[in-house]
Structure 1
Amino acid sequence: MAHTLANFDYQRIHVADDVSLNVATAGSGTPIVLLHGFPQTHLMWRHVAADLATDHTVICPDLRGYGDSDKPAETDGSVYAKRTMAADILALAGALGHDRFALAGHDRGALVAFRAGLDHPDKITHLAGLDVLPTLDMWEVLHGVTAAVGFHLYLMAQPPGLPEQMIAAGPDAFFGHFLDSWTDDPAAIPPGVRAAYLEACRGAVPSIVADYRASAGIDIVHDQADRAAGNRLRMPVAVLQQDWGAALGFDAAALWASWAADLQHHTVTCGHFMAEEAPDEVARALRELLGR
């Protein structure tokens, strides 16, 4: 990709049998891993990562299936399970010498972080999620015509074949729709970065669809098992969200509180891509979390 994080070092790290992740690292101090969302790459963290790297070790990978990381073919429905993707991040941090670390994710990356926190509570010191609900709650709050805002969730939940063909027929129109409609500040994603996101997505249609399809299948099974067992996030948790509840009729803070006893929930006024639209606010919230 043409765009990289300034003053960060890049490498590829093997995390699973058939997967290596592209990762950018910088700074020193207590480690924090930053996971990107859809339809983006690790570049979305460029402002926040630079801020945090002044006194933390900052690790910014492309998730499996995205950016310059490997994109294994889906086989049995588990290749893009958030449990599998979370295991990637544990392996990545371990390879970099970090047995315990803070973890922050946006959108899809926040779902990976959520699963890592539930599966590996001894490894994740602090957890932050940006503008997402846990998978199980997300499906439960979507209903009626208001669910149209999540049309892509339903499209990519379909069996293999049709979604991939439809999206591949016009990838720039499909992925560009979200980059344009989900931001309140178009200047926050400048043309060069937007072009890099679209280029990355063009080459990742099957894996992106598989990631979303997993969230309509195996990810729900895993969340349901944790809910039934009463499992909750044990570490301090911070969530930053738009006011989805006002639009769709639910209490986002209450939904998150059911999963996290030590929760700070913040409502933001920017658009979905908050790490790019309001990086100072995001960096402050992460620093506040890390201080707990």
Structure 2
Amino acid sequence: MQLPGFDYQRVPVADGVSLNVAVAGTGHPVVLLHGFPQTHLMWRHVAADLATDHTVICPDLRGYGASDKPADEGGAYSKRTMAADVVAVARALGHPRFALAGHDRGALVAIRAGLDHPDAVTRLASLDVLPTLDMWDVLHGVSASVAFHLYLMAQPPGLPETMIAGAPDEFFGYFLDLWARDPSAVPPDVRAEYLRASREAIPSIVADYRASATVDVTDDAASRAAGAVLRMPVTVLQQDWGAALGYDATAVWRPWAPDLTHVTVTCGHFMAEEAPAEVIKHLRGMLV
């Protein structure tokens, strides 16, 4: 499946890895990064709207969709590496500076891109995720059961890949069902595409999550120790996680993002598909 009206190309990024990238529109560039267990298709409503007056760039992250899936070695799936991919894609398309929005896994990549490449990222939006260090900090006791997949995929190579491969559609489909308040927001053809793409990417998806329990923690801890912050304006769209897990989300975000707009939304996790008009409104507000 493709985004109607978008042109597709493969863009080399590093070490022989190329990403599948959809591009449309003209104007100030905006890069949109998808989450799990999705592909760039999750942005289909938002991307079409923004492309009326922006250059919209929608890649599949490395390891997902139609992008390359290198072996899990040498930090291949660290958010630092994946953030460098995003900057490389934008530059290859002629955009040394760009706005950046990410959902879920893509938001973690966006956060690292903002920390590592502040001169490239002009504005940043994060949809329904916490920075890595804070994510692990707030998941404790029985509340951690809502994120059991984080612990499963953090295990060394072998067991998680084998377990997921035993029932991939049930595993990935579980999250599509659990996290959506409006199941109709992911229609059958899109759901089938997400499941197909995920089945074909089990080792790299696990590697992405494993990195968040290893190298990404190290990188984020080093950034925090150094006092690094997101220097650009940051917009966070988030469900009311604090009500369920007992923390103040705005207070969690503030040390990372001094110029912060934090918005609590009432839709499910897949907000770009469940509430695209609301997401478009806030992204356009960020882009003004």
- TM-superposed CA distance for 1:17, in Å, is 1.5
Amino acid at match of 2:273: E
How far, CA to CA, are the matches of 1:172 and 1:155 in structure 2? Answer: 17
Provide the residue aligned with 1:118 in structure 2.
115
2:160 to 160, 163, 188: 163
- Picking from 176, 183, 186, the partner of 2:183 is 186
The aligned amino acid for 1:26 is A
Q: Tell me the TM-score normalized by structure 2.
A: 0.99
**Identity value in percent:** 75
RMSD: 0.5
Q: Structure 1 unaligned segments of length 5 or more: list them.
A: none
Unmatched 5+ residue regions in structure 2? none
2:76 partner SS: coil
Q: Could you tell me which residue of structure 1 aligns to residue 278 of structure 2?
A: 281
Distance (Å, rounded) in 2 between the aligned partners of 1:254 and 1:25: 36
**In structure 2, the residue corresponding to 1:148 is in which secondary structure?**
helix
Q: Report the CA distance between 1:75 and its aligned residue.
A: 1.6
Asked if residue 136 in structure 1 is aligned to residue 133 in structure 2, the reply is: yes
Question: How far does the alpha carbon of each residue in 1:55-97 deviate from its partner, in whole angstroms, 9 at most, with x for none?
Answer: 0000000000000000001123x10000000000011000000
- For the pair 1:247 / 2:234, whether they are aligned, the reply is no
TM superposition shift of 1:104: 0.2
Letter of the 1:121 partner, please give it.
P
> Structure 2: which amino acid aligns with 1:112?
V
Paired residue for 2:38, among 30, 37, 40?
Answer: 40
SS at match of 1:122: coil
Give the Å deviation of 1:18.
Answer: 2.1
Aligned partner of 2:24 among 16, 26, 32: 26
Q: Distance in 2 between matches of 1:282 and 1:72?
A: 32
Amino acid at match of 1:21: L
Paired AA for residue 58 in structure 2: C
Q: State the alpha-carbon separation in 2 of the partners of residues 75 and 186 from structure 1.
A: 36
Equivalent residue number for residue 11 of structure 2: 13
1:49 corresponds in structure 2 to 47
Q: Given the alignment of the two structures, is residue 227 of structure 1 paired with residue 221 of structure 2, yes or no?
A: no
Spell out structure 1 runs of 4+ moving beyond 2 A.
Answer: none
Counterpart residue number, 2:263: 266
AA matched with 1:42: H
Q: Which amino acid aligns with 1:246?
A: A
Q: For residue 271 of structure 1, what is the amino acid of its counterpart? A: G
